[in-house]
């Protein structure tokens, strides 16, 4: 891919930035709780409202993009993003902020549900892995900017800044893409299964919330809705997701491997900030820089994976490096130098970037070219499921390890490190388990 041709991805990368830059919101949590006089547990709904919305809609949005055009859906996402982000910044109460976050979740699904498919449509099929690698690298770079700039934005202009700063970005990308025309469709436009989309949205929203809340009734509702979706998908001509793909050798295992690796990778954002403040004693600026190391590694891994052409070998190498990098975090202690902290996060980030690029490329290669939107959305859905599972499972592992140490008479600082180490032992072993799931060839 010539350097000049990479410029074709620039407006897409700029527009996509509005979604991964949401990592800046983590830095604004204390300011939001203070502004609305919230108890600390209430802040979780700011994430739940957003993740449940885009997680339940992504596959349907990918299918809509496959039918009506990825560029059209992406532009609609940018318009909706600008409105939602402005409403978030202007919200006078916490309930209205949560309502605006739901709208932001819809806009995020529209943007990232078609982003990868749009990236591959800009280049010949032989350059698919390179295009996906460049797109994934820009996504990771945007996520790295969040914690780096979030603290500065909040300090200068308060928590609303992490929202309104993205409004001109969305509008600039929309203007830049005004002349982007989608390639002509071949054949008749396929139908959209609205009933299947409704069942899938209800099932995914119920499942994600059930995992977060450990609610048996919600698990039951999710089982009913997803069961209905499976039944309908097997009985209509063009379902939202062709479930027969999961009968192909290795396809189901590949997606399960992605879930494991994303579950493991979220341990960094979940547990490392507490280590950096409680144990390492880093100032907020240095904390953001160290955390950005993981995202920076993912950016490098994505770009490298694209140049290597993706495929099973890159996926295997990524899973191995991610596992080793996460296991190294389990050995952190009070005297671990910041340079080593950064190196560990960089290593696991490169591994996750390599795997994610290869996984996305393999799924895209297996599915029809007409289903590229669904393929990209499926890769994001396994990531979302992994993140939600991590928030429950790794929190449980950490709490059990810390509680056991406290019960044994350890001081709070040592008990924290015990739980922290247990969490990263589990996180580090999951990518190594995924090695056995990754198929050695596609098809």
Q: Please calculate the CA angle 148-149-152 and round it to the nearest 5 degrees.
A: 115
DSSP three-state, residue 256 = helix
Dist CA 63 CA 80 (whole Å): 19
Instruction: Determine the pLDDT at residue 284.
Output: 65
Dist CA 343 CA 203 (whole Å): 40
Is residue 198 domain-shared with residue 176, that is, in the same domain?
no
Range of the domain at 203: 194-237
Q: Is residue 231 part of a domain?
A: yes
Is residue 114 domain-shared with residue 48, that is, in the same domain?
yes
CATH of the domain at 41: 1.20.1250.20
Q: Is residue 1 part of a domain?
A: no
Nearest Cα neighbor of 351 from 435, 437, 232 is: 435
Q: Is residue 187 part of a domain?
A: no
Is residue 173 domain-shared with residue 201, that is, in the same domain?
no
The per-residue DSSP string of 261-324 comes to: HHHHHTHHHHHHHHHHHHTS---HHHHHHHHHHHHHHHHHHHHHHHHHT-SHHHHHHHHHHHHH
Number of domains in the chain: 3
Q: Is residue 3 part of a domain?
A: no
Is residue 142 domain-shared with residue 56, that is, in the same domain?
yes
Dist CA 89 CA 100 (whole Å): 9
Is residue 132 domain-shared with residue 38, that is, in the same domain?
yes
Is residue 387 domain-shared with residue 345, that is, in the same domain?
yes
Instruction: Determine the pLDDT at residue 306.
Output: 86
Dist CA 423 CA 336 (whole Å): 18
Is residue 258 domain-shared with residue 206, that is, in the same domain?
no
Q: Is residue 2 part of a domain?
A: no
Is residue 332 domain-shared with residue 207, that is, in the same domain?
no
Helix (H) or strand (E) holding 96: helix 94-121
Q: Is residue 186 part of a domain?
A: no
Dist CA 94 CA 42 (whole Å): 10
Is residue 213 domain-shared with residue 311, that is, in the same domain?
no
Q: Is residue 188 part of a domain?
A: no
Each residue's pLDDT, cut to its tens digit, for the chain (443 residues) gives: 444 465 778 889 899 999 999 988 877 877 888 899 887 667 778 888 898 899 889 888 988 988 888 889 999 999 999 999 999 999 999 999 999 999 999 999 999 988 888 888 888 877 888 888 888 888 888 888 887 788 788 888 989 999 999 999 999 999 998 876 655 555 566 778 889 889 988 998 898 888 878 888 999 999 999 999 999 988 888 888 888 888 888 889 999 999 999 999 988 888 888 788 888 887 766 777 787 888 889 989 988 988 888 889 999 999 999 999 999 999 999 989 988 999 999 999 999 999 999 998 898 888 877 777 787 788 888 888 888 788 778 888 988 999 999 999 999 989 999 999 999 999 999 999 999 999 977 65
Is residue 142 domain-shared with residue 260, that is, in the same domain?
no
Is residue 143 domain-shared with residue 22, that is, in the same domain?
yes
Is residue 248 domain-shared with residue 210, that is, in the same domain?
no
Nearest Cα neighbor of 362 from 255, 230, 220, 244 is: 255
Q: Is residue 92 part of a domain?
A: yes
């Amino acid at each position: 891919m010539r350097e000049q041709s990479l410029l074709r991805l620039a407006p897409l990368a700029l527009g996509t930035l509005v979604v991964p830059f949401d990592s800046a919101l983590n830095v604004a949590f204390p300011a939001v709780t203070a502004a609305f006089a919230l108890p600390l547990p209430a802040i979780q709904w700011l994430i739940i409202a957003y993740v449940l919305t885009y997680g339940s809609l992504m596959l349907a949005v990918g299918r809509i993009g496959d039918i009506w055009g990825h560029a059209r859906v992406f532009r609609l996402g940018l318009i909706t993003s600008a409105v939602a982000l402005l409403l978030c910044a202007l919200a006078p109460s916490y309930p209205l902020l949560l309502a605006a976050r739901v709208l932001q979740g819809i806009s995020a699904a529209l943007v990232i549900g078609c982003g990868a498919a749009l990236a591959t449509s800009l280049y010949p099929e032989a350059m698919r892995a390179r295009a996906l690698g460049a797109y994934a690298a820009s996504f990771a770079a945007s996520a790295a900017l969040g914690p780096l700039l979030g603290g500065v934005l909040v300090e200068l202009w308060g928590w609303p800044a992490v929202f309104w700063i993205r409004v001109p970005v969305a509008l600039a990308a929309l203007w830049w893409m005004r002349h982007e025309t989608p390639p002509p469709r071949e054949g008749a436009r396929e139908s959209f299964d609205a009933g299947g989309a409704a069942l899938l949205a209800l099932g995914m929203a119920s499942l994600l919330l059930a995992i977060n809340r450990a609610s048996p009734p919600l698990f039951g509702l999710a089982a009913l809705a997803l069961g209905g979706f499976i039944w309908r998908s097997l009985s209509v001509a063009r379902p939202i997701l062709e479930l027969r793909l999961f009968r192909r050798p290795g396809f189901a295992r590949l997606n399960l491997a992605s879930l494991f690796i994303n579950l493991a990778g979220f341990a960094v954002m979940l547990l490392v900030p507490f280590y950096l403040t409680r144990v390492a004693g880093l100032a907020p600026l240095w904390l953001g820089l160290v955390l950005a190391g993981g995202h920076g590694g993912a950016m490098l891994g994505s770009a490298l994976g694209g140049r290597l052409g993706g495929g099973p070998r890159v996926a295997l190498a990524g899973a191995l490096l991610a596992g080793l990098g996460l296991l190294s975090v389990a050995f952190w202690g009070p005297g671990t130098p910041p340079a080593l902290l950064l190196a560990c996060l960089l290593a696991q980030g490169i591994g996750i970037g390599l795997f994610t690029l290869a996984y996305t490329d393999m799924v895209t290669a297996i599915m029809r070219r007409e289903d590229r939107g669904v393929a990209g959305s499926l890769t994001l859905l396994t990531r979302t499921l992994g993140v939600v599972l991590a928030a429950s499972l790794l929190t449980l592992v950490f709490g059990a390890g810390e509680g056991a140490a406290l019960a044994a008479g350890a001081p709070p600082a040592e008990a924290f490190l015990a739980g922290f180490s247990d969490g990263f032992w589990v996180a580090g072993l999951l990518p190594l388990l995924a090695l056995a799931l990754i198929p050695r060839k596609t098809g």
